[in-house]
Structure 1
Amino acid sequence: MQMVDHLSQPIQPETKAVMQMIMSIPFVASANLHGGDLVANYPYDASRYGNVQGEYATSPDDNTFKWLALSYADYHADMANPNRMPCRGGDKNFGKEGGITNGAKWYSVRGGMQDFNYLSSNDFEITLELGCDKYTKQSELEKEWNRNKNALINLIWQSHIGIKGFVQDAITLKPLANAFIKVVNVTNGIMSPILHDVTSVQDGDYYRLLTNGDYQVTASLDGYLSSTKLVTVENKHHNEAKIMNFTLQPIILPSNYNKEGKRIAFSNLIAAADLPVF
């Protein structure tokens, strides 16, 4: 998948401001709201091979994005209703597909916001098409709020699926920012790496959205020994993410010398241990 490299030039000040906000504030999950159809759209928006439509562009977190999209569609008044009419004659009836769609499968958009957020930050964003009218009349706003309220609240709760925790230095106990959180899905004994890392932020905290299953999670940072743990994720309705903290041991090179020029011996290096299970 090519990175988001097809932004319109020159980049407008408003676009730059949003990009800076996305990359400076550690968002976990988000949605951008559109009108013109009724569907929850998830990444990737851009097709891999340049097809205008009909090409499913799978992200490494495809299962999680489908979870997020369904969490909105299922709680909307009729987004997931298979018996509803499409917005216009000849349009696709997304209700028959659970009210969700992969962006590129619908139609390809390069340089879109949800792809940018996912590829450039820790944020998982979906696009919500909230109705057939592109611009809702003021008189219809209260009705639309009531149709979407439960879905919006439920989507916000999804920022708590998966795991969360802190990464800290084993000696100083200070928080470690910019540690990579790598995940391998090991459900049913099949190892399937999720090739999308999130990073810890300024206070050492991280949030990793995951669907139900068994995972091998590794925290790594330059200058430290990596730490790997196993976790079973069981997302309960409107509950907190499972807490998984990491304490990383600094790497001290054995070639160091003390002030007298004597070589320092390190006999207490941590040996490999069985993976702790949470």
Structure 2
Amino acid sequence: MNLVSLLRLLPLILSPSLLYPVESRGGEKDPLLHPLSGLAHHTYVRTGKRLLEEQSQKRVDLAKGYMSNSDLEKAMKDFTQRCGNISRMYRIGKSVKGVPLWVIEISDNPGKEEAEPAFKYIGNVHGDEPVGRELLMRLANWICDNYPKDPLAELIVDKVHLHILPSMNPDGFSLRKRGNANDIDLNRDFPDQFFSVNNEMGRRQPETRAIMNWLRDIRFTASASLHGGALVANYPWDGTEDRRRSYFPCPDDETFRFMASIYSRSHHNMSLSKEFEGGITNGAAWYPIYGAMQDWNYIHADCFELTLEVSDNKWPPANELPTIWEHNRKSMLNLISSVAKTGIHGKIFSSETGRPLPGSVMIKGINHTVKAGRAFADYHRLLAPAEKYEVMATMTGYKSKTTIIRLEAGPMALDFILDPEVSNGEHRLESVCDCSCTTGGSGLEVMGFLWNSHLEVYFVLVIVLAFVCILLLRKRARLSFLRHSRQQGGGPKRAVVA
């Protein structure tokens, strides 16, 4: 081979795609990992195989057989008309080009806050991965068609609030590209725990802001986003502190592995993967990315989110969609129902008033706190089955309470009744003293005489009265709890009060 031939081959030899082989999470590898790509927010590396696939797909109409954005909106409106008794449609924001981001909620009481876990599915995060938007509409229609005759559909409608956003990136879909209309990868646009490259609110994309505001309005227990280009259930963390590829577990690693396995094992063949053991992977162990949506969900919204790769082909022919749906249907349904069928669920009450307290629940050894809701003080804490968990409930102004449980395959109802840091008896004793000090001189002398003469008797009476009041209030709190439990009905069978 002569010198001229070698020079012609040099660009190919030094090609980044050959030096750094790329896996496919949503189709691309993050630029921050690549020493030749800099920090460009939307510069990606592709393998030769991926380029050939994309070039061949450009020769045909990719969208043939897929719903357009207007078709999708019409399908959602038709659905809420057909299934209006269990659904509603609402908007969480708009895309760069002003396309509404529509959501369907499915519940026996849509639009009403209840002491039930909420789950969300998001599709089409990347514009060139449209399978998710099609699967999510099929999911909604399956639930409507099978409620209440199918037990799984009945459980989801009656015990979960399901929210479906079929397309987070309608502009990218229209443009047939990964990023949004500003060419930004929306799954790299969230605030990151390790690097502040995209922490400026003014530069955040409208689609990203819509998701963040959505999670401030609704307290989701768990969620998943649907992607294409591989077949695996991905869980946090997505990034590492040193940007190196390595397994980087979050505090709830066991729980996330459990959730990912629910999806993988219910899938037609995901768990049989030769590339990913059990069909699941830690994000950073696959390849690190930064500004990912699932990490932000867990850190800032107590929402346990998975990133699901549901199709080896990012944009398969539309005639393959029925098969892809059948392969993923059971997994999608089981993941939703898991928020009601596993973990611990309950409320936090005040022993003083019997009213709900919006406190927090912590697990010893897991550095992550789950907050109870304000309206009902209900919490839904996802956990993998285990021999023992030490669970603690806390609330400002109240004494924390801890109990040890054994969590089996099913859910457990665990309520907490917290005592105030200062008892009623102490409050009453202080009020007697305060009142006596503000009376006139003659009254003060009489009270002083009575107090000095019968100090021991009064003290015993106050203690007895305080004790009786505490017992009555505790009884009222327990009755209130039982009344709430009967109103909810059908929840976890094993009820525990701490």
Contact kept, 8 Å, 2:227 with 2:310, in 1: the verdict is: yes
Q: Which runs of 5+ in 2 are unaligned?
A: 1-191, 438-458, 471-495
Of the three residues 80, 89, 105, the one matched with 2:271 is: 80
Q: Output aligned runs, 1:55-74, within 5 Å.
A: 55-74=246-265
The structure with the larger Rg is: 2
Of the three residues 22, 28, 40, the one matched with 2:215 is: 22
CA RMSD of superposed structures (Å)? 2.6
Q: Give the distance between the partners of 2:257 and 2:402, measured in 1 at CA.
A: 27
Contact kept, 8 Å, 2:362 with 2:369, in 1: the verdict is: yes
Of the three residues 217, 232, 237, the one matched with 1:39 is: 232
Question: Normalised by the size of structure 1, how large is the TM-score?
Answer: 0.81
SS of equivalent to 2:266: coil
> 1:24: how far off?
2.5
Q: Give the distance between the partners of 1:261 and 1:6, measured in 2 at CA.
A: 64
Q: Does 1:162 find its partner at 2:343?
A: yes
Deviations 1:85-137 (A, max 9, x none): xxxxxxxx22xx11111001111111211101110122111100011111233
Deviations 1:145-204 (A, max 9, x none): 111001111111221311010011112111111x120112xxxxxxxx111110101210
Name the aligned partner's letter for residue 373 of structure 2.
V
Residue of structure 2 equivalent to 1:127 = 307
Contact kept, 8 Å, 1:229 with 1:277, in 2: the verdict is: no
- The change in CA–CA distance for 1:8 and 1:224 in structure 2 (over 3 A counts) is closer
Whose helix fraction is larger, Structure 1's or Structure 2's?
2
Deviations 1:60-107 (A, max 9, x none): 110110011111111111111146xxxxxxxxx22xx11111001111
Q: Does 1:245 find its partner at 2:436?
A: no
Contact kept, 8 Å, 1:38 with 1:131, in 2: the verdict is: yes
Residue of structure 1 equivalent to 2:368 = 196
> 1:4: how far off?
7.5
Residue of structure 2 equivalent to 1:190 = none
- The change in CA–CA distance for 1:257 and 1:208 in structure 2 (over 3 A counts) is same
Q: Does 1:113 find its partner at 2:286?
A: no
Of the three residues 391, 396, 401, the one matched with 1:222 is: 396
Q: Which runs of 5+ in 1 are unaligned?
A: 84-92, 185-192, 271-275
Q: Percent identity?
A: 37
Q: Give the distance between the partners of 2:497 and 2:379, measured in 1 at CA.
A: 19
- The change in CA–CA distance for 1:101 and 1:261 in structure 2 (over 3 A counts) is farther
Name the aligned partner's letter for residue 413 of structure 2.
I
Structure with higher RCO (Cα < 8 A, 6+ apart): 1
Residue of structure 2 equivalent to 1:171 = 352
Q: Give the distance between the partners of 2:339 and 2:379, measured in 1 at CA.
A: 12
Whose strand fraction is larger, Structure 1's or Structure 2's?
1
Question: Normalised by the size of structure 2, how large is the TM-score?
Answer: 0.46
Residue of structure 2 equivalent to 1:181 = 361
Name the aligned partner's letter for residue 211 of structure 1.
A
> 1:8: how far off?
6.1
- The change in CA–CA distance for 1:49 and 1:3 in structure 2 (over 3 A counts) is closer
> 1:261: how far off?
5.1
Contact kept, 8 Å, 1:27 with 1:123, in 2: the verdict is: yes
Deviations 1:242-274 (A, max 9, x none): 000011112228588324156xx885699xxxx
Q: Give the distance between the partners of 2:199 and 2:319, measured in 1 at CA.
A: 35
Name the aligned partner's letter for residue 171 of structure 1.
E
SS of equivalent to 1:117: helix
